[in-house]
Amino acid sequence: MICCPNCFNSPNLKEHILEKGFTDNCDFCSSIDIKCIEVSDLYDMFSPLINLYREAERGIDYYDNDEPPGENLPDVINHDWEIFSEEFDYDKMNDFFEELVNYNYHSKDFEPINLYGFWVDGNELDYSVENLWDDLSDHLKKERRFIISNERIENILSRLPFALERTYTEIPAGTEFYRARVGPDDADEKWRPFPRKEMGAPPLEKTQGGRANPPGIPFLYLANSISTAISEVRPWKGAYVSVGMFRASELLKVIDLTGLFYISDPFGISELGFLVEDNALLRRLSKELSEPINPSKSQVEYVPSQFLTEFIRDKGYHGIIYPSALDSGKNIVLFDDKLTTCRNVKLFCVNDIKYKHSRVIKERSAAKRFK
């Protein structure tokens, strides 16, 4: 069976087919008279992707009477990477994968791939993001605070600059951001917001540790909309909030952690497995930066995200964009508050706050459900 460039989303895969293909009618979409390629000839392009997964193992991933975790391989790959285009006939997805791996089975000495088994993430068992973050976290919190002396973590950090480069983005000079502060206290008497000079980063001596900054080193936390800026200071109903508009005074070179997947095209990338691991670490950092500071938690909890932020700063970037956990907008932390200037400040009142909730019920384990 043959497929064509229109079957896929990946620019690298499309290019590969255009280069190696022959003109024919595609078996998987309605394209005719187009460059096509035998599905089996794409195996080498697909194998790094397939190698990101392994079959769930009894005794490790699940026990005798449990339903194994995971999904069949075509579904796992399709869900995680959305490789097929809208033109592709999804009823033929399993045919596609059968053709892809059968060739491999017959022509080389590989073990047959059990497409319809239960597939889960990772080749190795210590490959998960949780382990990665926990290792870094434990090392910084319990062993070394400022210098890494652990080979595995050093290895990951030495690769991280490449992952950072792929999340790099530039924000043009003149772009507007917002920063909010609850108050001032006499807002309902004077109807005036804080003055511009009081809307920037706090002075050194008053700087508390944040998600990104260590105590005593002020960073400027901004948002891309007024509502996100207001949500981030978690005001109460009826509170007055001053919102400053800041304008970038030069081109800002930043890391953008708001994308869900930082690998937009998984085909034709060398060392895909390493990239996935590095990106997992960045996704975790993104999550850690988004969550509001919990005053009852020890300052030590924020050391790992402060460390990674310092690592990013050290590579010459101006800041990090990360999602807001309190609003649908984005936040940006800038390491130097002189990169923007506050142009005006306006006073707002919080008219209403909506909380959404759901009842917490203890999750029953898979084991109990299937016994």
Contact segment (CB under 5 A) with Zn ion among 31-39, 114-122, 257-265, 351-359 equals 31-39
List the one residue out of 247, 272, 239 whose CA is nearest residue 196.
Answer: 247
10 binds Zn ion (CB under 5 A): no
For Zn ion, give the closer residue by CB, 28 or 221: 28
- Residues 2, 14, 31, 326: which binds Zn ion (CB under 5 A)? 31
309 binds Zn ion (CB under 5 A): no
305 binds Zn ion (CB under 5 A): no
29 binds Zn ion (CB under 5 A): yes
Which residue has tokens 């990013």?
A: 312
Contact segment (CB under 5 A) with Zn ion among 25-33, 66-74, 151-159, 352-360 equals 25-33
Contact segment (CB under 5 A) with Zn ion among 7-15, 125-133, 245-253, 276-284 equals 7-15
Cα 246 from Cα 339, distance rounded (Å):
10
- Residues 2, 6, 76, 187: which binds Zn ion (CB under 5 A)? 6
37 binds Zn ion (CB under 5 A): no
Contact segment (CB under 5 A) with Zn ion among 12-20, 26-34, 162-170, 357-365 equals 26-34
Q: Rounded to the nearest whole angstrom, what is the least distance from the CB of residue 17 to Zn ion in the complex? A: 9
For Zn ion, give the closer residue by CB, 34 or 49: 34
List the one residue out of 193, 228, 260, 237 whose CA is nearest residue 329.
Answer: 228
Contact segment (CB under 5 A) with Zn ion among 22-30, 170-178, 233-241, 261-269 equals 22-30
Tell me, by CB under 5 A, how many residues bind Zn ion.
Answer: 7
Q: What is the 3-state secondary structure (H, E, C) of the chain?
A: CEECHHHECCHHHHHHHHHHCEEECCCCCCCCCEEEEEHHHHHHHHHHHHCCEEECCECCCECCCCCCCCECHHHHHHHHHCCECCCCCHHHHHHHHHHHHHHHHHHCCCCCCCCCCCEEECCCCCCCHHHHHHHHHHHHHHHCCCCCCCHHHHHHHHHHHHHHHHCEEEECCCCEEEEEEECCCCHHHHCCCCCHHHCCCCCHHHCCCCCCCCCCCCCEEEECCHHHHHHHCCCCCCCEEEEEEEEECCCEEEEECCCCCCCCCCCCCCCHHHHHHHHHHHHHHHHHHHCCCCCCCCHHHHHHHHHHHHHHHHCCCCEEEEECCCCCCEEEEECCHHHEEEEEEEEEECCCCCCCCCCCCCCCCHHHHHC
320 binds Zn ion (CB under 5 A): no
83 binds Zn ion (CB under 5 A): no
257 binds Zn ion (CB under 5 A): no
26 binds Zn ion (CB under 5 A): yes
Q: Rounded to the nearest whole angstrom, what is the least distance from the CB of residue 41 to Zn ion in the complex? A: 14
Q: Rounded to the nearest whole angstrom, what is the least distance from the CB of residue 77 to Zn ion in the complex? A: 18
Residue 262 near residue 163, CB atoms below 8 Å = yes
For Zn ion, give the closer residue by CB, 27 or 232: 27
Contact segment (CB under 5 A) with Zn ion among 11-19, 27-35, 289-297, 338-346 equals 27-35
- Residues 2, 7, 13, 220: which binds Zn ion (CB under 5 A)? 7
For Zn ion, give the closer residue by CB, 29 or 248: 29
- Residues 4, 39, 42, 245: which binds Zn ion (CB under 5 A)? 4
Residues contributing to the site for Zn ion (CB under 5 A): 4, 6-7, 26, 28-29, 31
